[in-house]
Amino acid sequence: MPWDWRILFNGALGRMMYERGVLDQTLPYDELKRQSRVTDIANRAPAEGFSDYLRAELPGYRPREAGQPDTPEEPDAPEEIEEGAQA
């Protein structure tokens, strides 16, 4: 993404992403922002399937493929070296 002063000032980042087509363009920006407020939705979401529930309730999200994890997998942790062993 090319440099833009709005990257540094978070309050303007959403509009910049909207203008660049990163966010859903089917709604005007102000309406998308209003509908994307997550507090009330998150408060009524079940613990099981929380992320899927949010995605289903908010505009502009595409459903995930079956079996796709909520978050990217963590890389494997490096193996511990036994005390006194050389790396």
What pLDDT does residue 68 have? 57
Predicted local distance difference test score (pLDDT) of residue 62: 60
pLDDT of the residue at 75: 45
Long-range contacts of range 10-14, CB-CB < 8 Å, 24 or more positions apart? none
Residue 49 confidence (pLDDT): 92
Question: Length of the chain, please?
Answer: 87
pLDDT in tens, 13-59: 888 889 988 888 899 999 998 988 889 999 999 999 999 898 888 88
Residue 83 CB-half CA count within 13 A: 0
Cα–Cα nearest to 23, from 64, 63, 60, 62: 60
Check the CA dihedral 62-68-71-74 and report its sign. Answer: negative
Q: What is the mean pLDDT of residues 54-73?
A: 66
Rounded to an integer, what distance in angstroms lies between the CA atom of residue 64 and that of residue 55? 9
Is the pLDDT at 61 greater than 50, yes or no? Answer: yes
Give the integer Cα–Cα distance in Å for 13 and 4. Answer: 9
